[in-house]
Structure 1
């Protein structure tokens, strides 16, 4: 009886773990922007997280298009060893006001190209960090369409926009959710921070996001195992009686 209960416990745990991995994996496999939200009206630092999904090819280039319907006056890339970042600007139909000046053009595209000997190999991921601002105050989200190029010539187009009420597309575009800044002063702390402050916070945000996600998954697995142990104990007790 103990042998059967142990096997049932192992099977339950294995199924639960596999289900959790299946749920978590697709989200991680996408190209995403981290953290997933920022405050309207301020500056923020984000990282475009790029996993290599191929079993045989490595990622050697990332192209990210910035939304020109909501252009930003300031865009700065953080240096990344082994990668060259190129910023492409476009003329604006309507100038932006920034610190009392008219901005007539804005960054519309960022391209990171791997230098010889550098790549994102299968089973790895890389984060490409950018400081952005000021965030628009008239929209609740920004969509960044991205192209991921592999060294075998394959290009994955992360450009599909998710629609409410429909299943997530196969290659969703990275999306940044914008939230209202608090009037009591949190606007300056979260959304209205300077670019230097935003860049410094970026390094912490990626780690916190990973840690929270990992702890959440571990907690669920532990809960499932605990429940399985409880059921097995009750069955042993019933058999003994």
Structure 2
């Protein structure tokens, strides 16, 4: 594949991911969950809050509306380009969760949404969060537990296989249930955990299921015929209003 073709594929993948994220972010449950995360941050007007793994920047813009100096951080250049295009007045920086571009004790709030499951060493990210947060600063972590994804299907055994196979390809698929331990190990105080289950029935979420199946199929966990039959069933469910995906989201908060 030529460099041009690779660039085209990367652009297509980014656009597909943005479409999935936008569809999910517009749902009422997602809106309420973001609002809850802002509440737990206890934002102080004028203080600096960093949104790690900011993606296309929606949370950065919403935090800025609450009067804080919000900074979005993400390692993906294409995501950052999309964020800057959408929110030209917001501040974004290219960096990973393990190496943040902030001085020690320089931020009042730290937020990471759907980030820790892709990290190989989430403890390093927690240590970095502790470094940049000032004493009394707040941290809020949000994310799904990929092993606990629930999808209605006629074939429960195959569904479990697909869910677990996809989870096993991630860095830390069960990060959500580990948030409390990670924050305690990182020296944080007042650690609290909530679980909010979001239910998705919109046919637009079929793209999420396709992104679930393809890596599992490519990795050999299931055969191509099995995967195609499973996706066909989910498409039929979407066409008849019977698609159902339930995702438990863990929300952990603590004080530095």
TM-score interval for Structure 1 and Structure 2 normalised by the shorter chain: under 0.3
Greater C-alpha radius of gyration = 1
> Structure 1 length normalisation: TM-score?
0.26
**Could you say which structure has the higher helix fraction?**
2
Normalised TM-score (structure 2):
0.25
